[in-house]
Structure 1
Amino acid sequence: MSGPDGPAVAAENGPEEPALATDALPAEWSDADDWTDEALALLRSLRTPHRLNRVRQVAYALYCTVLILVVWGGVPSLGLFLQAAMGADYTGGGPALLAAVPGGVAAVGLAVLLLAVRDGLWRGPVVPPRATIDWLLVHPVRPGPVLRPWFRLSCGLAVFPGIVASAGAMVVLGLTVRAGLPAALAWCLIGGTCLPLLGVCAALSVERSERAARLARRLTPYATVLVLGFAAQSALAAAGHSVHWLDRVVLWSGPWGWAGIAALAPTPAAVPGSGAAAALLIVSTVVGLVRADRAAGTVSLTLLRERARNAASVLAALRTVEPRAARLAVNAATGGDRRLKVRLPAPRRAWLVVYWRDTLALLRSPARLGRAVLLTVPALLCAVPAHAARWNVSLAATGLALVFGHLAVAQLLEPARIDTDDVRRASWTPFPFAGLMLRRSVVPTVLGALLGAAGSTVAVLCGAGPAAWLAPAAVPALVGAGLVNACRGAARRDLLYRPAQATGGGAGNIVAFAAWYAAGPAVAVPLLALPFSAALRGGTVDSLGRAAVVGAVVAVGLFHWARVRAEKLPAQARPGRAG
């Protein structure tokens, strides 16, 4: 935009980004043509009849949120404190918790910043409605007063989860290490509010600048690896393998670590320099907010239109209950996965073509292979506490490990999902569609087994015992669960709108739809969790053999189920049969 903010646009974007400055100046107008105050006053008067309804909606949403927090968080926390006052001791896990704080807080803090930056790649903190972009901002009005309220709204929405998380951290510290509640809340609020605000400021930089967006895309894989590294460090420290000098390095490595120093300040494990770390975090947040608030009014009108279209596409996909469509829309808006020009010698035998295409597709999309590797790490880490814990904790840890394992192998099943998105894509192959889907599972099963074997080898070398070799044994069943999901067909939105008496109300409808949508892992994880948990706790040859047999039986059943589902897809895709 031009006018009073015009020079600021050129100054902010600089000579290296003339496109943004040009887009921000669609027409020349002077201060005498400025109608900002009049336009905003007119809009306020026109919106007055609707403002009361909007206030009621916001108040009702806030009431529901507070009620949920009180019922599910406040009341149980009060009960725990009452039990502690009557003699209950919750300090047994205090040392392990304090040891896990440096890596854990750093992992969460860096993940918050990473998610905010990724949001800035496709949406951003400044996304006004389409009417504001297409009508109001093309008139002689200053963009600053119009866009800054949306940036401030994004800041407020980002801070709210941080406040809730700080309250939860206060409860945990008060119960496990007997920290003073006011001091614990005050110190935890420093990280709980500053990190989300820093993330919003970083997202605005990514939204405004293509150079920052390119840098964010380039650094995302490394930041993801660092988050997983911090999480692994936290898990190992909680298990008694803490490295003190590494904890100090992590705590002082950046804002994500400064929040951990602040969280440890009211505890016996306080780190020297807590006040300096808190001051650094607060000052950097204030400086970032001041600069971002000034820059919020200089976002290019062209970029605003693009982000509004992206947000509308994702919202439309979510409203029609199409999570995959929403995920693809976000992926396209963020630039998509990087494609490599990789070549493989063509096979000499026709039956190898499917496997050749699947391997080539995965090699050309290294991001999927990278995500599969990264998700394998938390799967193995979750299986570690299942070895020596009580049966209920072991069962929960094993189930969580299987969920991460399913997510890992699901990254390798993208060729099957592409075929099921449009069955006409499979017209090149002479195989029946159901047979093609089964062949699509071969490469993911082999690669998943290799990843599991590699992780098991590392675990065995670290002293995990023979139970670590259960990882590759679970891969076929998890691939079968992913294939069942890939062959689910068109979204069954009718499950959401069935009569309330049939499913027990609206919640029953949501549960029915979720069970249909995630049918594969919903069946595989419970069936595998019990025998695999028993094998991890027992460690005997018999228990390992029983778990492997159960995994094979579940895999056969899931592949048969996927075949049955796949046989129905071509008929559903024919004209007149899509509904």
Structure 2
Amino acid sequence: MTESDLRAQEARSEEPRRAEDDRGAAVEEWSDDDDWTVETLALLRALRAPYRLNRAKQLGFALYCVLLLLVIWGGVPSLGLFLQASMGADYTGHGGDLLAAMPSGIAAVGLAFVLLAVRDGLWRGPVVPPRAATDWLLAHPVRPRPVLRPWFWLSCSLALLPGLVTAVGAMVAQGLMLRVGLPAALGWCLLGGACLPLLATCAGLAVERSDAVARWVRRLTPVATVLVLLLAAQSGLAVAGHRVHWLELVELWSGPWGWAGIAALAPTRGAVPGGWVAAALLVASTVGGLLLADRAAGTVPLGRLRERARTAAGVLAALRTVELRAARLAVSGASGSALLRRVRLPIPRRAWLVVPWRDATALLRSPARLGRAVLLAVPALLCAALAHGIGSKPSVPTTAVALVFGYLAVAQLLEPARIETDDVRRAAWSPYPFASLMLRHAIVPTLAGVLIALVGAVAGAVAGAGPALWLAPAVVPALVGAGLVNTCRGAMRRDLMYKSPSSGTGLGLFLFTAWYAAGPAAGVLALTLPFAQALRTDTAANCGKAAAVGVVTAVVLLWWARTRATELTGLSRPAAQQDR
């Protein structure tokens, strides 16, 4: 959209307009004589004055907690490293690896930040006032721009925080590993750390305002996600010694995410020619984007603002009550994930194939879940390859991380089972007992997970990895069983968080976490040691032992899931009888 179009929309928004109801229909016209914007805002400031001090205290306490965490986890360790460097410690041995990782790595981080911002614009966006403002204030003769602009600039301020933290971390890394002056490193890194979040916020506003832009974001999200992963993989390969300089130059000049990398490299010995040009482009695009976004902030349709405010309030309420699935469903529903409703599989001729057929059809009609499973399987296989390459060093933590990513990948394929457990009455169509039905829901995730693992093992074998990576398919049934255990856990046990509140030991939070993640925790703990030993030694005996442990763990977890499913139906019968 051009600047002239924004000016025209801004002018129309400031002109006398019609009030809108919840469906966006005009109900009453008002003119300049009915404009009460100044008086209304002044009255609101007066009414909020008694509570302004308490709100300032709350914000101050939140800021204090954030700063305290940053100082404890970032400032103090960084100061210790600099003190060690002043006493003779040498960290420059890692400088070459840092320079090799920065071009593609910064481009990956910048593109990922932009992707998260535009995806946020699909369901919330940078301009989301409270429900009171959208449902009541903006329905009156009040110009929207004075009400909405402060929320856009608040979103910009919040987006700056991770950028500033990243810039400070980059300054510390360059100062220790490359011996770059701290003021120069901070100044150049702040260009990307400040400008890129602001540009991403402006992009989120464009998505919030325009349905056409939102459709393009949905279409391009898979491509952008794959690009982020490819950039991250290229960064890792560069550290391993496989740099492609011409490709890095293309990535650095491809957009703001690359310009930030050029600016960060400017004070180092790996500087790219044209650093000042990239800095100028970054600043100019940020200033232009902020000017256009400032004018467009008041032109978001009122009906859309109401929908976003209600969705944001629902997500916040779900998070406060630890209903993480409810929050995720609210976000995905508001984001409008595309479904391929025309995808059909041949109807099975045998009754026992009905449940796998339904699960496979649901998976093919929601390709985003399959895509997320593939994307999460990539870091799982990379961590497994890293654990294999560690050799005699301890590989247990790396193997545990690989198993966690593997569980997260398999969990994306268990959505049909989770839908059944959301309300067990939905399983009335099935002739099987509920526990048996849940076990049948494990067939398609297991087959799909084994197929993904086989493809990853083949890729690892082509890249020269050891035969231990062929253990990846053997771990899939156990991870599916862990997912089913979590799926059948039942209603949220928030009462566990209030156990022993006066002891100060955090026992309640530990109990709730243990209950909430019982399945994956048990699976990862049981599989880590044998698989770490198999990856480290790469012998046939240890690989056979690890595979046997995987089979036994899968059987135990599936039995546990069946037991939980039986208990779940037992608990739901009194409620069902009461409903009847």
With 145-154 and 473-482 compared, the bigger mean Cα shift is at 473-482
With 171-180 and 441-450 compared, the bigger mean Cα shift is at 171-180
1:555 aligns with 2:557: no
Contact preservation (8 Å) 2:237, 2:243: yes
Aligned to 2:96: 95
Aligned to 1:540: 539
Residue 577 of structure 1: how far off its partner (Å): 9.2
Q: 2-side partners of 1:244 and 1:508: how far apart? A: 53
Residue 217 of structure 1: how far off its partner (Å): 1.0
SS of residue in 1 equivalent to 2:395: helix
Aligned to 2:202: 201
Aligned to 1:143: 144
Q: 2-side partners of 1:204 and 1:578: how far apart? A: 49
Residue 408 of structure 1: how far off its partner (Å): 1.1
User: What does 1:14-413 correspond to in 2, within 5 Å?
Assistant: 23=24, 27-389=28-390, 394-413=395-414
1:432 aligns with 2:448: no
| Structure 1 segments unaligned to the other structure (5+ residues) | 13-18
Aligned to 2:525: 526
Question: Could you tell me which amino acid in structure 1 is paired with residue 517 of structure 2?
Answer: A
Q: 2-side partners of 1:6 and 1:140: how far apart? A: 21
Residue 141 of structure 1: how far off its partner (Å): 1.9
Residue 422 of structure 1: how far off its partner (Å): 1.1
Q: 2-side partners of 1:384 and 1:281: how far apart? A: 38
CA offsets per residue over residues 203-234 of structure 1, 9 Å max, x none? 11111111111111111111111111111111
Question: Could you tell me which amino acid in structure 2 is paired with residue 69 of structure 1?
Answer: L
Contact preservation (8 Å) 2:450, 2:473: yes
Question: Could you tell me which amino acid in structure 1 is paired with residue 108 of structure 2?
Answer: A
Aligned length: 566
Q: 2-side partners of 1:470 and 1:171: how far apart? A: 40
Residue 535 of structure 1: how far off its partner (Å): 2.0
Residue 196 of structure 1: how far off its partner (Å): 1.2
SS of residue in 1 equivalent to 2:387: coil
Contact preservation (8 Å) 1:128, 1:150: yes
SS of residue in 1 equivalent to 2:413: helix
Q: 2-side partners of 1:538 and 1:216: how far apart? A: 46
Aligned to 1:515: 514
Q: 2-side partners of 1:478 and 1:32: how far apart? A: 66
SS of residue in 2 equivalent to 1:344: coil
Q: 2-side partners of 1:48 and 1:151: how far apart? A: 22
Judged with a 3 Å threshold, the aligned counterparts in structure 2 of structure 1 residues 26 and 81 are, in CA distance, closer, same or farther, namely farther
Contact preservation (8 Å) 1:6, 1:24: no
Q: 2-side partners of 1:571 and 1:421: how far apart? A: 15
Q: 2-side partners of 1:23 and 1:359: how far apart? A: 39
Contact preservation (8 Å) 1:24, 1:298: no
Q: 2-side partners of 1:280 and 1:538: how far apart? A: 52
Question: Could you tell me which amino acid in structure 1 is paired with residue 529 of structure 2?
Answer: L
Q: 2-side partners of 1:537 and 1:93: how far apart? A: 25
CA offsets per residue over residues 497-528 of structure 1, 9 Å max, x none? 223256x44x4322322222122222222332
Residue 284 of structure 1: how far off its partner (Å): 0.7
Contact preservation (8 Å) 2:118, 2:204: yes
Q: 2-side partners of 1:329 and 1:466: how far apart? A: 43
Contact preservation (8 Å) 2:499, 2:507: no
Q: 2-side partners of 1:483 and 1:262: how far apart? A: 48
Aligned to 1:16: none
Q: 1-side partners of 2:194 and 2:312: how far apart? A: 25
Question: Could you tell me which amino acid in structure 2 is paired with residue 548 of structure 1?
Answer: A
Q: 1-side partners of 2:477 and 2:188: how far apart? A: 47
CA offsets per residue over residues 386-434 of structure 1, 9 Å max, x none? 2222666633322222222111111111111111111112222222211
Aligned to 2:17: none
Question: Could you tell me which amino acid in structure 1 is paired with residue 126 of structure 2?
Answer: P
CA offsets per residue over residues 155-206 of structure 1, 9 Å max, x none? 0011011111211121122222222211111111111111111111011111
Judged with a 3 Å threshold, the aligned counterparts in structure 2 of structure 1 residues 176 and 470 are, in CA distance, closer, same or farther, namely farther
Question: Could you tell me which amino acid in structure 1 is paired with residue 199 of structure 2?
Answer: L
Contact preservation (8 Å) 2:7, 2:295: no
Contact preservation (8 Å) 1:340, 1:366: no
1:566 aligns with 2:547: no
Question: Could you tell me which amino acid in structure 2 is paired with residue 513 of structure 1?
Answer: F
Contact preservation (8 Å) 2:218, 2:337: no
SS of residue in 2 equivalent to 1:388: helix
Aligned to 2:574: 575
Question: Could you tell me which amino acid in structure 2 is paired with residue 196 of structure 1?
Answer: P
Question: Could you tell me which amino acid in structure 2 is paired with residue 29 of structure 1?
Answer: W
Contact preservation (8 Å) 1:190, 1:278: yes
Contact preservation (8 Å) 1:24, 1:301: no
Residue 576 of structure 1: how far off its partner (Å): 4.7
Q: 2-side partners of 1:174 and 1:398: how far apart? A: 32
Judged with a 3 Å threshold, the aligned counterparts in structure 2 of structure 1 residues 400 and 381 are, in CA distance, closer, same or farther, namely same
Question: Could you tell me which amino acid in structure 2 is paired with residue 255 of structure 1?
Answer: P
| Structure 2 segments unaligned to the other structure (5+ residues) | 1-5, 14-19
Moved over 4 A (4+): 9-12, 22-27, 390-393, 576-579
Question: Could you tell me which amino acid in structure 2 is paired with residue 277 of structure 1?
Answer: A
Judged with a 3 Å threshold, the aligned counterparts in structure 2 of structure 1 residues 560 and 309 are, in CA distance, closer, same or farther, namely same
Q: 2-side partners of 1:24 and 1:112: how far apart? A: 36
With 257-266 and 303-312 compared, the bigger mean Cα shift is at 257-266
For normalisation by structure 2, the TM-score amounts to: 0.93
Residue 32 of structure 1: how far off its partner (Å): 3.4
Q: 1-side partners of 2:189 and 2:77: how far apart? A: 20
Judged with a 3 Å threshold, the aligned counterparts in structure 2 of structure 1 residues 292 and 26 are, in CA distance, closer, same or farther, namely farther
Question: Could you tell me which amino acid in structure 2 is paired with residue 563 of structure 1?
Answer: R
Aligned to 1:480: 481
Residue 316 of structure 1: how far off its partner (Å): 1.8
SS of residue in 1 equivalent to 2:215: helix
Aligned to 2:16: none
Question: Could you tell me which amino acid in structure 2 is paired with residue 345 of structure 1?
Answer: P
SS of residue in 2 equivalent to 1:151: helix
Q: 2-side partners of 1:380 and 1:294: how far apart? A: 47
Q: 2-side partners of 1:81 and 1:328: how far apart? A: 46
Contact preservation (8 Å) 2:388, 2:466: no
